[in-house]
Each structure stands twice: as C-alpha cells, then as structure tokens.
Amino acid sequence: MENQLKFSPYVTDAVVIGDARPYLTCLVMIDLENVAHFAQVQGVPFTNYKSLCHAQEIVDLIGAEIEQVNRRFARVETIKKFRLIDQLLDAEDEELTPTQKLKRRVVTETYSALIDEMYRSR
C-alpha cells in the first residue's frame, strides 16, 4: 500500500500504521515541488512547507490520492485516516535513510502523538 501511494506525484513517502489497531492510518510526506506547483496553479495560498501541508486543498488532494489507492484493496485493508508530516525532512534528519526513505520505527515514535490522535478522533 505504501508503495502504491508513492506512485502519486504528490507523495514522496508514506508510512501506513495499523498493527494491533482497529483500522489503518497513514502518515504522508508530500512532494514539495509537485504539491507547490499544484497549489500555485489552483491559487492556494501558502508561505512555506508547513502552511502548504495545512491548506485544506492540499489535504483534500492527498485524500483523493489515498482514495485511489484504497480502491485497489478490500474495505478492511483501506486507510481510514491520514495526516501530513508538516516538517520538511532532509538527509540529516534521523527520520530518513541515506536514500531519503522514512524510517518506520523512528517516524512512528516521533509522530506518536499525531498517530494517537488519528485513533482518538472518530
């Protein structure tokens, strides 16, 4: 599922969470260049990466990408909620491997409050 999401031009990386949880959720790192271009074309105001991640139009864009991927899986295997990682990560960040992929364990620890919030809100 994560690999399917990465085929989107708007998604750089994704971590699906769901082990021992009632449903699947996902943390998404957007592709800055493609999403910023989309925002400019659509007239979505933003000042930086964080504001881009919080724009409702961008959340909706990524939601549509997730829905496309969800259609390929059984209903119980679909992502129910997602959040955008609103921090631009780079090679020095411990959340990334040398090849710029998210480290699942580190990401789930770093963003545990965000993950928990997805399971608290219904």
Could you tell me the CATH number of the domain that includes residue 32?
A: 3.30.300.30
Instruction: For residues 81-90, give the mean pLDDT.
Output: 88
For residue 7, the enclosing domain spans: 2-120
Answer whether residue 122 shows pLDDT above 70: no
Amino acid identity, position 61: L
What pLDDT is stored for residue 104 in this prediction? 82
Amino acid identity, position 81: K
Read off the tokens for 20: 């021992």
Can you give the pTM of this predicted structure? 0.90
pLDDT band at 93 (very low <50, low <70, confident <90, very high): confident
Structural domain count, the chain: 1
The gap from C-alpha 57 to its chain's centroid, in whole angstroms, comes to 14
Q: What is the rounded distance in angstroms from the CA atom of residue 41 to the CA atom of residue 70?
A: 27
What pLDDT is stored for residue 76 in this prediction? 85
Contact predicate 15/29, CB 8 Å: no
Length reported for the chain: 122
DSSP 73: S
Considering the chain, what percentage of its residues have pLDDT values greater than 70?
A: 97
Answer whether residue 29 shows pLDDT above 70: yes
